[in-house]
Chain A
Amino acid sequence: MNQEQVIQLLSPEGERVTNPEYTCSLNGEEIFALYRDMTIIRRICTESTSLQRQGQLALWAPIRGQEAAQIGAGRALAPNDFSFPSYREHGIAWCRGIPPENMLRLFRAVSNGGWDPNKYHHSVPAIVLGNQVLNAVGYAMGIQRDGAEEAAVAFFGDGASSQGDVLESFVWAASFNAPVVFFCQNNQWGISTPSSVQMKVPLYKRAAGFGFPGIRVDGNDVLAVYEVTKHALENARAGGGPTLIEAFTYRMGAHTTSDDPTRYRIDAEVEIWNHRDPIERIKALLVRAYGVKNSQFEDVTTEADEIAMKLRRDVLAMDRPDPITMFDHAYADEHPLIEEGRRELIELGIGGLNR
């Protein structure tokens, strides 16, 4: 990591670092708000992991370690920008205003999506690696045709970076100068596949070959992620074209609750990244530079606990959907096979009983 150009505004110890290109534009209150976001999303994540362990969720994809990358990018978005997530972007969803219980509808296995993407300007999760990146570029081409000052953002990981769709996205975005930001969270692991198998050249350097800027940012430094993303978005909205941001971070937990990382990586590596914890880092800055008191941090912890408890209640109240709903929105218009299936479920007494 050290041999590469990495944008950093905050050291792992919480010391401010100066950078010739990027300066921190946030005041103490705004930085504290980022701390709050990161603490809450981590709490949502631990609660969700517990819910899965207790059999209340089918699956959970933890984000521990990636809070700065997600909150920094999520808070840089303007309301009218449109974000295209994969399945681990809970922090982005939080920043878009999506209620936590909606994020969990997918993992509770009561929905394939979970929220109205048009309402929050945040698309539904794409689980097939890299598909959403092309969709984001297409959306950006629509922005161009509308003459709007907006941007699309594609979120993906180092795992998806080997997908043809991601590389085709780079070609399209470059050729059409599309207002899109490619935000890759390089968390080092695609389940058990290390990023060394995905790339021989650091990911951000790929952008140069496609003809647009690529930037590596310390993904555990929320201030740097925020500024780099904000700058890339402003550039895209102003017609400057795409940017690839590689947020260099680490997946502290398992790929999902179905995974066992002890089979393929050593504790010592995890321990190194423990010292780079994104929340501890910003907390150290807030104490040292802004005099934030313990009680203020405790208030956030209490608030996060309350959000987690509400989330637990909401999840437990999520009932199995009426089976008849499987036919809803399969098509926009009438379809004979949909009518046939619906009729059969009703006749068998399986679904549609309360309609």
Chain B
Amino acid sequence: MTMAKALNEGLRRAMEKNKKVLLMGEDIGKLGGVFRITDGLQKDFGEDRVIDAPLGESGIIGTAVGLAIRGYRTVCEIQFDGFVYPAFDQIVSQVAKLHKRSDGAYTMGLVIRLPFQGGIGAIEHHSESPEAYFAQTAGLRVVSCSTPNDAYWMIQQSIEHDDPIIFCEPKSRYWEKGEVNTDVPPRGLFEAAVLREGTDVTVIAYGGTVKTCLRAADTAALEGTSIEVIDARSVAPLDFETMKDSVEKTGRLVVVQEAPHSASIGSEIISELTQRCFYSMQAPGIVVGGYHVPYPPTRIEEDYRPTVERILDGVDRVIGFGK
């Protein structure tokens, strides 16, 4: 099934399992959301559980906080990445901190779904990668799915988790299909996955760039370069154990993301793995990502987003380091 359908099924299953699970967002009812992720859910679960919100992102998150205090678990849909900022205050000041401020009395079990990254030819504010803002904030967790199977399971695991979770969905992959095993979850929510084994370079990605990296690995293999591809899955916390094992084996590291490099998830991964794997590394790790500019007009977005060519160029640079 598609990732969109897998998310829909995951939400449905979570709502069937737990009556306290609610959905709230803009246009998520009759319309099923602008990406149709919640298609049909209001019809089946009613308007009290699938809430069409007024158009105010702070209102969505701020009321979800109150619902959490009352014992509900609200999955909030933010329509697009670039529209999350009006809710930033509630997310950082309340969602992230109320468990602490209440000495553990409040459980902030809520999920904030964020369609993120670009690649859909949209106008401004519809293609951003704001994950690092949230990863920087103590009290939050940030995850991202890259396949329909992960989408199906990770959304359910996020809803069941007692900490607030920013759930980043790569919108450019919503309509791509993949196998979904509805019986067994693939792994824990905060575990990275080695999607392709290799020996020369470790390439770490999350969200929409994972698939681009797998394509790059296919191409590199034709040229005799063996790339190990890791899907970080959890952006905060990062699963450094899995990453470390890989980098100790390959000695080289490239992180691929759409967000600009500076103060990003990629720079965090490189910093930490450099400390953990210093003596195994043959070259400094690098980031292949967006440039430090506002997301460009989308007629030129493919020159901003990491492509197979740019990833392979990064791989060549770490292999050629010092030569």
Contacts and interface: CB of A to CB of B under 8 A. Distances in A.
Interface of A: 82, 84, 111-113, 116-119, 123-124, 126, 128, 131, 133-146, 152, 164-165, 168-169, 171-172, 175, 328-333, 335-337
Contacts of B161: 333
Given A112-B100, A116-B103, A172-B54, A331 B139 contact: yes
A329 B70 contact: no
Interface string B78-103: 00000000100110011001111111
B138 interface: yes
Interface residues of B, number: 45
A112 B97 contact: yes
Contacts of B63: 134-135, 137-138, 141, 172
Given A165-B62, A172-B54, A337-B237, 5 more contacts: A134-B59, A134-B61, A139-B66, A140-B66, A171-B59
B128 interface: no
Contacts of B103: 111, 113, 116, 328-329
19 contacts: A82-B69, A84-B66, A116-B102, A116-B105, A117-B106, A118-B105, A126-B94, A131-B89, A138-B65, A138-B69, A144-B48, A145-B48, A164-B58, A165-B90, A168-B54, A169-B62, A172-B59, A328-B100, A329-B104
Of B89, B99, B101, chain A has the most CB atoms within 10 Å of the CB of B101
Nearest to B56: A168
* Top 3 A-B pairs, shortest CB-CB distance: A138-B66, A134-B62, A142-B70
Contacts of A332: 99, 104, 107-109, 162-163
A337 B89 CA distance: 23
B67 interface: yes
- Chain A interface main SS type: helix
A138 B64 contact: yes
A168 B70 contact: no
Contact of B70 (A126, A131, A138): A138
B71 interface: yes
A168 B62 contact: yes
A84 B62 CA distance: 13
A181 to B, nearest CB: 14
B35 to A, nearest CB: 24
A135 B139 contact: no
Contact of A113 (B69, B101, B108): B101
A337 B272 CA distance: 12
A128 B93 contact: yes
Contacts of B94: 126, 128, 131, 135
A161 B300 CA distance: 43
A228 to B, nearest CB: 23
Contacts of A165: 58-59, 62, 89-90
Of A329, A331, A335, chain B has the most CB atoms within 10 Å of the CB of A331
B72 interface: yes
A139 B67 contact: yes
Of B63, B68, B93, chain A has the most CB atoms within 10 Å of the CB of B63
B102 A124 contact: yes
Of A128, A138, A142, chain B has the most CB atoms within 10 Å of the CB of A138
Contacts of A336: 237, 240
Interface in B1-56: 22, 48, 53-54, 56
A138 B89 contact: no
A165 B58 CA distance: 7
Nearest to B139: A330
A264 B139 CA distance: 39
Nearest to B54: A171
Contacts of B97: 112
A164 B70 CA distance: 23
Contacts of B69: 82, 117, 123, 135, 138-139, 142
Contacts of B71: 142
A144 B72 CA distance: 12
